[in-house]
Each structure stands twice: as C-alpha cells, then as structure tokens.
Chain A
Amino acid sequence: MISTVKKAIRPVWAARAIHKSAVDVLKQPAPEDTVTASFGKFISEIKPQHLSPVVLHRSKRMVLDNIGVGLIGSTTDVFELALQHCQNMYAPGDTSSVYGRRGIRLSPILAAFVNGVATHSMDFDDTWHPATHPSGAVLPAVLALSDMMPANNKPSGLDFLLAFNVGIEIQGRLLRFSNEAHNIPKRFHPPSVVGTMGSAAACARLLSLDPTQSSHALAIAASLAGAPMANAATQSKPLHIGNASRLGLEAALLASRGLEASPLVLDAVAGVAGFSAFYEDYVPQPLESPSNDSHMFLLEEQDIGFKRFPAHLGMHWVADAAASVHKVLVGVGPGTISPAQVEDILLRVPKSKYINRPFPESEHEARHSFQFNACTALLDGEVTVQSFTPAAIGRPDLHALLSRVRLEHPDDNPANFNRMYGEVQLTLVGGDIVKGRCDTFYGHWRNPLSKDSLRKKFRSNAEVVLPSEKVERLIEVVEDLDQLRDCRNLLSQLQ
C-alpha cells in the first residue's frame, strides 16, 4: 500500500514563483489537467455498463446491510434525539422517508441526516480498507434524493446502484491519497472527511451534474468535511455519518444551483491547503476518464467488512479470540466463566487510544473498548446487540473480569485493519493459561459473511421495526436492484 502512494507522479501544479513578473506565462495547469477536474469528469461520465458483476454483487450486499443497520438504528436514543431536533426545527416535509417510522417524512437533507445517524448509531455499519464507513455516508443521501425526484422520473435501480458506487469509489480514491489514511485514525474521523465527499459525488451523479458542477460539488463538500476523533466513542459520533450524508447532498444541490468553489480543491497546492488540510501527507492522483468500457472500481479489488455485532471493527478480533477461549473452558454447550476462576486477562492488541477503555461507562464507550468486548465474549461466548444495554454493561461479573485485564501492544500488531490481530491470554487461578488468537474475524474482507449470514443479520435487524413481509420484500428488491426499472419499489419499503 505504502509503495503505491509513494509512487512518483508528475506534479500537476508547479508552485508559483514569488518573484515572477506577471508578464511571464504562469505555469498554471490547463483546467482539464487537474486532479480535481479528473474527478468531476469521472463522476459525470461514468455509466451503468461500467459496473462489473463483482461490483454489482458486492455493492448490493452493502446496500442490504446498510438498510438493516439503519432500521435497527432507528430504535436508538441518539436517533430519537436527532429526529426530534429535525421535527422541532423544521416543518414536516413530505418528501423523503425516515427509516422504520411509518408516516414520518422529512425534507431530503434532514432525512439523509437522521437516516445517517441511525445507520451509525450502534457502530454496526460496514468498514473498508483504508478505514472508513463508506455506505452510511452515501446510501441515506441517495435514498433521500431519489425520493425527491419527480414521480414520473425516478431513477432506475441501476442508476441508483451507479450513484451509490460512485460515492463509494470516490471515497476509496481519496483514501489512497495519503499514508496516514491506511492506519486506524488519530486526528479526523474518516467518514467525516471522505464520507462527505462520497455523498457529494453520489448525489452529483444522481443529479446528472456536468463535469464542472461535479467538481464544484466536491469542492463545496470539502468545506463541510472534517470532525475530530475525540467525538468517537461519544453520542455525537453517529452524527458524523449523518452529517456526511446530508452535507454531501447539500453540496451537490448547491453546485446544481451554480455555486462555485475551488477548482483545485483536490490538488496539492503549496501554501494553500485544499482537501490536503485533513492529512499530514498528501499525494493526489487523477482519476482516469471512463471513456472506454473498462473502469476498475476499487470495490472489485478491495471488499468491505461487515460487522457481526455493533461495535468498532477492532473489537471483532478480540471478541473472536475471547470466544475461542470461552469455548475451551466451557465446552460446546451454553455456560459461563466465573470471575473467581480468573487470575489475569492479557490482551495483545494494536495501540489505539480511542478503543482502549478499561471501564466504559456508556454504550458508546463500550462499543469502543477492547477490554469490554473481550470480557463480554469471555463471559457469554459471543458479543451481540444485547451486550450493550445498560443492564449488560453494568453486570458485576463483567466488572470483576474487567478489573483483571491488562493490555500489551506488540510491535508486530499495527493499528491497521488489514494487518492487525487480537490475542487473548487467560491465566486461571492455579496457573493454567488458555490462549486464543484471531487474525481474521468472520465478516472481515478476507473471510466475508456468507449470503445466509448477511441475510440473517439483516432479518434480525430489520424485524425489530418492520413486519416480516416487508423484510423479505426488501431482501428481494435489493437482490434484483440492478434489474429494477423504478427504484420506488425500494423506497416504499423502508418504513
């Protein structure tokens, strides 16, 4: 990965020399030569036939998972709060539907917002490499915008999927502009940086903006991007995805009305930061024009990870490792480990401050705690949606185990979702040591969820708010999304 980013590229912008007289011709690149313009061109010119079968298949899985996760997310406190906010601040819109709430519609921007909040409310949505949550930033906006389009001119399922994939692709391309993006983030929460751009790109595509407008949509979105990591593991984190979705849509709408912004926002210009403001190292690359019939979408090369339980991706490694320890001690049947048996619990995990929480006090912190997820899996054999309720978080047995945990950060365990591992070493009273290790959890892109597992997750999520007939119909509609003549069949099933 690193060698790809460091590959020498022809600089598209020569720094303007300070002492030049204005009479000299400036070494200004022709507009078509900039990275920014290449992105605008791509968004405008990409067509459905450029979607390969693999990309169609993978993106439909993402759409299904994301809808399910959004539906269960509509039962959370933070979603309720966001919805209340929108309904208080704004008159009822009747355009775009809200996940899981029969009869409630909002204006498109606000629907994108609350549905995005729902999607990320439990940290249950998909994760990519380099790290971000790509679908949650894009899908709510594309759904909301589709609802906004006139009844006799709704996008087809294929248009919908194309827009969605454009949103994912742009995020993937932007993440490859820096080495920093390859590791678990420390400064800006990635969805707030690339997610906003992806949403803008997807909406620009769905609105059929021309290349210049599409570039401006990206540039306007850049001024709406960026939120600090400190708000991860708090109740505000889901708003990062909600805002990415809504602000990207807003950027595209403003661009469609003629608002202009920097034509060099993605390019590297010394002394004036554009999108580069969000990264310490930044080497942008132009996107090839999809003129012939071949464009390799990144999703084809690099699949997504789906989560089996609602917590930060890193938790899945320690949970799987701890679950195997549990199985050794308890056997195949149900049962639990007693804290009295346990002398010490050692976790070998990558170094990452915001997921190292010895005693989480809220569900948000619990979803971002190696210690909590390991101990829950040790106790219960698994981590589920129910593991994060206040009752579950407050269990005395769990606390007893938590106080016996210590962390190690081996040098060979980098903070990188492609290379990390999780190891759990239990020392029992009496001296016996039981060790479990997970290199690739089930659901990771190296070991993807089967179709059955994905559907099982979807059903379990969606059935919390929708009747099972609607749930099954959603599965069918998404499965055949690329054949759908009118995406209304999808839009009408979400509440």
Chain B
Amino acid sequence: MTVKSANAALPPHPQRERENLCIHQRRHLPADLGITESFGAAIHALNTSQLTDGVINRSKRMMLDTLGVGLLGTRTAVFNKALKYSQLFTSRERSSVWGKSDIILPPHYAAFVNGIAVHSMDFDDTWHPATHPSGAVLPALLALAETLPSQPSGLDLLLAFNVGIEVQGRLMRFSKEAYNIPERFHPPTVVGVMGSAAASAKLLGLSPEQCSHALAIAASSAGAPLANAATQTKPLHIGNAARRGLEAARLAQIGLKGNPAILDLDSGLGVYYKDYSPSAMADSAVRAYKWILEDQDVAFKRIPAHLGMHWVVDAALAAREKLQNAVGKFDLSQIRHVTLRVPPSKYVNCPLPATEHQARHSFQFNACTALLDNEVTVASFGDAHIGRSALKELLGKVSLETPEDNLPSFDKMYCEVEIATHQGPSYKARCDTFYGHWRKPLTLKHLVEKFSVNASSVLCTEGVEGVIDVIGNIESVAECSILGSYLRMTSNQERLDRMRIL
C-alpha cells in the first residue's frame, strides 16, 4: 500500500453515462416512457370498448379451436402423466381440468395440464411471427377466473385473452430472428409466458407497475430449447408458459418486483434473441387501438402436426390426384421415387420417425401418409399407423430438397411434391398456401366442425353445443363460469370408464 503526497490536479469527474444510472434516475431525466413501462401501462389501461369487431371475431375463433384441441388432448399419454404428477398438489383454490367432471387442481396446475392438453398433439393455432399464442393464455385465464371471488364476464375474459395475444405479438416484432422458423428457443416458451403473465395481470386488475413486474418475473421463467420439440416434453412448453405466466402475475400481485426495464434491456428479454430491438407499446389511451390480430390472423390446423406439414400434405394430395387422374387408379407400386421440396428446417426433417412426436415433425412422414391414405388425420399418428410396412417402404423412396427460394418462414414457404413413376412420367404439385393458413382461413363451418369432432371425444352433446354457444356469444355472457361447467360435461363413456377403474 502506498501513501503518496501529490499535488497533481485530479481529472474532472467523468460525465456519467446514461446507461450507468440506475433506472430511477434515468426516469427523472427528460426522457420518454420506458418500454417496459409502456407495456405495463397498456396492459392496465386497455379496455373492452377498444375491442373491434374484427378482433372479437378472430379471437373467439381462437378460443373455440383451443378448447376443442385441448379437450381432445386430454386423452394423450403426456397429459395423463402430467395430470398424475399434478395431483400431488392440493389447494384451497380449485380450478377444473378440461374434460374431467370431477378433478380439480390448484389453479397453477390446472393451467399446466390444460396447456399441455392443448399442445399435446401439435393441433393448436399458429401465428406469424411464429408461435402458438392461444395455448399459453387461455388455460391460465380459465384457471384463474375460477378462483376469483366475483366471476369475470365473458367480455372481461375476451379482453384479457386479447391482451395476452397482443403482448406476444408485440414482443415477437422486437427481432428479425422471430420471423423465421425457430432454431434455438421454442417461441411459446419465450413470448407465451409473457402473454400469460400479461393476460393474468389484466384479469386480476393489477396496477400498471404491477403489470410491468409481472412481465419481469415471467421473463425469468422464459426460454426452453428447441431440442425438446418433437418429443413428449414439447407440450409442457405450452403448459409451463401458461402456469408460470399466471404465477408471475400472482407474485406481482403480492408485491414481488423484478427489473422494471426487463423489456428494454439486452440482458432482459433480449437474451433470447440474437438481434433485439424493442419498442414501446402503442398508445393505449386512443379510442381506436390497433390490435395486431386485426392485421395478422392466425392459422388453424387441420392436421395434428407441425404447421409446415400442412403445405406438404396439401401438395402430396394434389400430386396424388394428378397421378390418379392420369392413370385411372392410384397404386403404390407405381411410385419409383418421391421428391419433397421444402424450406430448410432441421427439426421437421425426420426421414424415419419412431414416435408420434417425431411423426408430427416430419415432412417425409406426412407426405407419405397423404400419398398412402389420401388423407392425414388424428388417427394417422397412432403407433399402428406409424409402424405400417407399406408406409416404411414408401418412406424409403423419399428424398428432400431445400431450394434456395424456399424460405424458412411460415409467411413465405411453399412445399412441392414430385412423384416419379416406374412407367416414366412424373406428377408434380405445389402448395403455396394451405387451407387453414391465415391467407386462406378455415370457414366458420369447418372451424366449428373441427371443434365438434374434437370435443365429442370427451364431452357429451350438451357440453359440445354449450361451449359453441357460450363462445359464440361470449360478449353477452354475464359470468364466464358457465363455460367451465360445459367443459366438465363429460360423455357417458368417460364416466363409465372411470367407474370401471373405481
């Protein structure tokens, strides 16, 4: 240690860089509202009068589809494992499990298992930029609604739902990386948990500051790697997004705080993206609020498989039809080789899937199933179907190409299927926009049909029709608890099955 006498003049105090100041000081400077603050303010302030007809219509379709897909999903193995696990927990607050007449769980775990059900078969909606927006939000809201002392109205629920969707859409526009098919983090785990936190905060009526903290707390629960897609764990990504967003809002409600600049910072939400350029939420005080859902619709799936599969299936069906029209009948033995022209995306390139999860993420499998059966349905992913030797033989004839003009983006990709025959001619078909894509939306009739088929696997007719009715008229529903009671109206068969177990 040295003690020196020195008369040297000291350097002047350096100008404090703006970024070195802690957040509170920065706010005292003449500055705009922070980004995170603007989100907290908007979540708090957005109200039902700002819901436009377009947004109401689109979000009701999303709610209906999500419920149907979730009900069907309660019959899957992954759902049952999660349910058994969740039944370790009890609580005073009780929330229902969709499609189960007498199982209740703590709200977080109800959100968890219902969310898993929704994503269990990869049958839920997809948006652009890519994520599965509804599954992360609706299970959390319904579970939460059941615990509130005064039941929210249908319109309250609709508003909270749209807040959850809107926040996800805004966050995804913070980076270019989000616009392409993902490679690192599974998007629902990044933005889905934030949407769930926002929606839950809305339904709870939190203050603007609490809403911001809900987002901050949720950020520490975000991010799961893509490698678990195409496995049994993928559905938990949505289940966890729902539950942990709800948890974040509840923690914010009792005063937990996180970083009030969580969206502003690269070290905040920015950690999940290679490029990150956040911007403030639009002014939520305006009468005509511009919801993203108004400009950009979602896609609904006709097949319980990754969205990319829908292009290749439609192309395969069209190519098959061409072959059939030319030759008179379709016969597998005619096929010499099948070429698929698809966008580059490793996790949906699976030549020989061994499990249903892999099958749902395989261009090859879906194309071949379409060729073999002239359709791809829920049943196509059962073990028996996956294991068919005819299918395996056909899979052996498939090769993939990734043309340069085929971009890994759900807004820009296409799929082409070319069947080369032993006789000589080739039959080619291309799909640019599958039926169900946002450019070619499902008709209401087909959407309701999809819901009915799904829901009937678990609910009795009264339940099925009741849900359709409630969602259809949700703006006029006084208490949304009525939805819950329909979701518990299981069919006789389910009740019988349960009795047998007892």
Contacts and interface: CB of A to CB of B under 8 A. Distances in A.
Contacts of B232: 259-261
Contacts of A260: 231-233
A278 to B, nearest CB: 8
Given A85-B251, A235-B258, A434 B3 contact: yes
Given A234-B257, A254-B81, A273-B184, A223 B346 contact: no
B22 A359 contact: yes
A222 B93 contact: no
A188 B270 CA distance: 10
A219 B24 CA distance: 40
B150 interface: no
Interface string B192-232: 00000000000000000000000011011111111111111
B259 A261 contact: no
Interface string B180-193: 00011110010000
A71 B42 CA distance: 40
B254 A427 contact: no
B346 A271 contact: yes
A273 B255 contact: no
Nearest to A107: B89
A162 to B, nearest CB: 25
Interface residues of B, number: 90
Nearest to B368: A22
Interface stretch (B10-18, B307-315, B433-441, B447-455): B10-18
Nearest to A187: B271
A100 to B, nearest CB: 20
Contacts of B217: 231, 236, 239
Contacts of A261: 228, 231-233
A239 to B, nearest CB: 6
Contacts of A434: 1-3
Interface string B256-267: 111101100101
Interface stretch (A12-20, A44-52, A123-131, A485-493): A12-20
Nearest to A220: B233
B259 A432 contact: no
B136 interface: no
B345 interface: yes
Contacts of B270: 228
A296 interface: no
B257 A235 contact: yes
A347 to B, nearest CB: 13
Contact of B237 (A89, A223, A357, A433): A223
B226 A243 contact: no
Contacts of A357: 22
A360 interface: yes
B344 A222 contact: no
Nearest to A404: B13
Contact of B5 (A84, A432, A437): A432
Contact of A81 (B240, B251, B397): B251
B225 A277 contact: yes
Contacts of A187: 267, 271
B250 to A, nearest CB: 7
Contacts of B225: 222-223, 265, 273-278
A272 B256 contact: no
Interface in A227-273: 227-231, 233-236, 239-240, 243, 250, 253-254, 257-262, 264-265, 269-273
A18 B85 CA distance: 40
Given A26-B351, A223-B237, A230 B89 contact: no
B498 interface: no
Nearest to B400: A18
A89 B106 contact: yes
Interface in B372-410: 395-402
A324 interface: yes
B420 interface: no
Contact of B3 (A222, A328, A343): A328
Interface in B19-41: 19-22, 24-25
Given A223-B225, A229-B267, A358 B20 contact: yes
Interface of A: 16, 18-23, 26, 78, 81-82, 84-85, 88-91, 107, 109, 186-189, 192, 219-220, 222-231, 233-236, 239-240, 243, 250, 253-254, 257-262, 264-265, 269-278, 324-325, 328, 343-344, 353-354, 356-361, 365, 406, 427, 431-437
Interface of B: 1-8, 10, 13-14, 16, 19-22, 24-25, 78, 81-82, 84-85, 88-93, 106-108, 183-186, 189, 216-217, 219-233, 236-237, 240, 250-251, 254-259, 261-262, 265, 267-272, 344-347, 349, 351-352, 364, 395-402
22 contacts: A21-B396, A22-B399, A81-B254, A107-B88, A220-B228, A220-B233, A223-B233, A225-B224, A228-B262, A228-B272, A229-B271, A236-B217, A240-B220, A254-B82, A257-B81, A265-B227, A272-B183, A273-B184, A274-B227, A276-B225, A359-B22, A431-B5
